Structure 1
Amino acid sequence: MSGAFDAPTVTWHGPDAADRPLVMLLHGRGADETGIIDLARHLPAGAVYAAVRAPIRSGNGYAWLANRGIGRPLAESLDEVMAWFRLWLDDVAPAGRPVILVGFSGGAAFAGGLLLADPQRFAGAAILYGTLPFDAGVPTSPSRLAGVPVYVAQGETDTVIPRELLDRTWHYLLTESGASATARRDPGGHAITTDTITGLGDWISDLLRD
């Protein structure tokens, strides 16, 4: 693996199978792949689930992006990590294999960056309790995600991600982007709820049927 980072550390939920869609689970800042892979136990059969460890050390865990403040990634960092990730992804999921992104918090910003940079590459993306990477070098123009399935979930009392960024993400995904959006807001804060997991599972099931 070329570039500034080592080859990804990946945890799989069951064996890989190249003829099945791949769901990528992307953890938040300060965490790693071992926590978010547990989501796969609650999600539909019919897909392969994999969690990749982000490449940048952050506290006791890892981060996808260097930033200039919470939810505000640096463009050069986003570009560098996306290039690293794509090298790995293009090997395990060549063109023609559906790939669904599921990102939580910092992983949501990274998933959003991947999707905005190349909307046709992905079968859909779930942006969970996080912001899109606005003003970080990826397009957020009107109709950029026209027809792309997106699942967005937020906590009404989230105090981790700045509210202005959560609101901007919500507005863009549900209106300007043109995405085929499924959205929910939970009464809680910055944590994935049971209802959100249920909704995510239903959304993935719909994608697997298409």
Structure 2
Amino acid sequence: MPPAPDVHAVHHAVHHAVHHAVVRTAPADAPVVLLLHGFGADETSLAGVGTRLPDGLRVVVLRAPLTLAPGQHAWFPISTPGSPDPDAVAPGVAAAHAWVTEHVAPDVAVVPVGFSQGGLVASQLLRTRPERYAGAGLLGGFVLQGEAAGDATLRRTRPPVFSGRGTADTVIAAHAVERTDGWLPLHTTATVRSYPGLGHTVSATQARDLADWVRTVVAAVHA
């Protein structure tokens, strides 16, 4: 993950459509895995994770709408670490929703997967429109504080969620990790993995576990 740029230099261009990079094409009715990068990265940063996902999927990486510096973008500014302002989070989530609405047919399954800050966005996609997403993946990510519009639905439906985190990851605030670990079993059917010695990054093992989870989620959609 690149060093965090000065958050005061963020350009609030959230009204602009997010850019995207296609990692793998597939037929129009194939499930879509939407990869969401972390703070200070761009749509190239998770391409390697995308190449490890199962065949037969359309894999797309979105570039977050806030520009920090050339090649460095964010879904929302960092205010209180681990507890961002929900009002500041909402526009980035809305931009990702808008991309899905524009580029994916309504009957095609979509699975958002995010790293770090992108993990929060992936979970918010699910929490705000649970009927649209087949699940969500969090890679060193966390969930937003408070109740979201779709949380009551999630408590009934318990969609699949993958959460993988390194034991040496000190970037995400401890209270956000605790919040996430408490939220997952109450709202989802969670697959939780811990990776000894891994810092704030995605390892080959974690990417493999994610791929196995995605394969299971897609198989359930088509069962």
TM-score w.r.t. the length of structure 1 is 0.89
Alignment of 1:60-139 (within 5 A): 60=70, 61-135=72-146, 138-139=148-149
1:190 positional shift? 0.9
1:19 aligns with 2:29: yes
Matches of 1:142 and 1:32, distance apart in 2: 33
Q: Which segment drifts farther, 8-17 or 194-203?
A: 8-17
Kept in 1, the 8 Å contact 2:38–2:74? The answer is yes
CA RMSD in angstroms comes to: 1.9
Structure 2 alignment gaps of length 5 or more: 1-12
Letter paired with 1:80: P
Kept in 1, the 8 Å contact 2:116–2:142? The answer is yes
Query: For 1:114, what is the secondary structure of its paired residue?
Result: helix
Query: For 1:58, what is the secondary structure of its paired residue?
Result: strand
Query: For 1:34, what is the secondary structure of its paired residue?
Result: coil
1:8 aligns with 2:7: no
Matches of 1:141 and 1:184, distance apart in 2: 23
Matches of 2:42 and 2:67, distance apart in 1: 10
Query: For 2:59, what is the secondary structure of its paired residue?
Result: strand
2:190 corresponding residue in structure 1? 181
Letter paired with 2:131: Q
Alignment of 1:152-171 (within 5 A): 152-171=163-182
Matches of 2:130 and 2:17, distance apart in 1: 24
Query: For 1:49, what is the secondary structure of its paired residue?
Result: strand
Matches of 1:114 and 1:138, distance apart in 2: 10
Residue deviations 1:164-198 (CA, integer Å, cap 9, x gap): 2112202210x222x11111011122111222111
Aligned pair in 2 of structure 1 residues 19, 36: CA closer, same or farther (>3 Å)? same
Q: Which segment drifts farther, 19-28 or 60-69?
A: 60-69
Letter paired with 1:209: A
Kept in 1, the 8 Å contact 2:82–2:175? The answer is no
Aligned pair in 2 of structure 1 residues 168, 143: CA closer, same or farther (>3 Å)? farther
2:161 corresponding residue in structure 1? 150
Structure 2 residue corresponding to 1:33, chosen from 31, 39, 43: 43
Structure 1 alignment gaps of length 5 or more: none
Matches of 1:138 and 1:209, distance apart in 2: 28
Matches of 1:28 and 1:96, distance apart in 2: 28
Matches of 1:203 and 1:116, distance apart in 2: 19
Moved over 6 A (4+): none
Query: For 2:131, what is the secondary structure of its paired residue?
Result: helix
1:58 aligns with 2:54: no
Matches of 1:79 and 1:169, distance apart in 2: 18
Residue deviations 1:56-95 (CA, integer Å, cap 9, x gap): 1235500001242222222222222222222221121132
Letter paired with 2:19: T
1:139 positional shift? 4.7
